[in-house]
Structure 1
């Protein structure tokens, strides 16, 4: 029984390129420039025994905004070039940010009494809202830095290697 993890993309793809052509495409390592060169996306790859690991990363102005997941391609058939692709995000980082969301948002709305300035009282609505921001802001940050790049990475890989889903 194969365990499938949430947020991990598993897929079987086919391409018209041969294995050698895929390696040649990856060897070019062309960087993509955004915002007039203020943000540059690059990648590194490692090839071993018909398995290719690709890691994208960003350099520049908003490099802290996107952390791309690791791509593992296992070549299944070289004649018609079929590859199993697994795109795995950093679960440790996602769980780190999820702790803030899980703790602060429910506590902001469901806790009846808080100790504020050494006084036990019911918090006001603005106080609850400000406390919930301690969960909302890390949640939004986690989405843009770790969750959104998962699908972007799959689209990038499909475009780069001209893959068709089986």
Structure 2
């Protein structure tokens, strides 16, 4: 059983090193050795290659400001594309540009809806709905009370008429 423990640990380290190497960015390989050669080294020299990968990749990450940190290209090469940003994504929602864009779009939509409700309420207050004219402004065939000779049923409007 005690002979099996070092073997299991070695297989675990080799598997971890292979996966870590395969998932690493090709531009950030330690010691400027291409990714394919690192994989061959880990497979051909199992323990030495895996431990070498783990040590060199961690030392490079430490010099570059941590994994995914600024200046992650390692060595003396300047980072490409201007200042580097962490590859892990925003830390908080208010640092996420997509979240902020959605938040701004929601705010604008709510503002448009509020203005539309205010316009609708204003129209209703004037007696209009959806841009139509009020009932008293609509043309009718009947001139209505008090218009051009019509007799009103209200005795106060036509004092001379019998009620």
TM-score normalised per structure 1: 0.20
Larger CA Rg, structure 1 vs 2: 2
Provide TM-score, normalisation by structure 2. Answer: 0.21
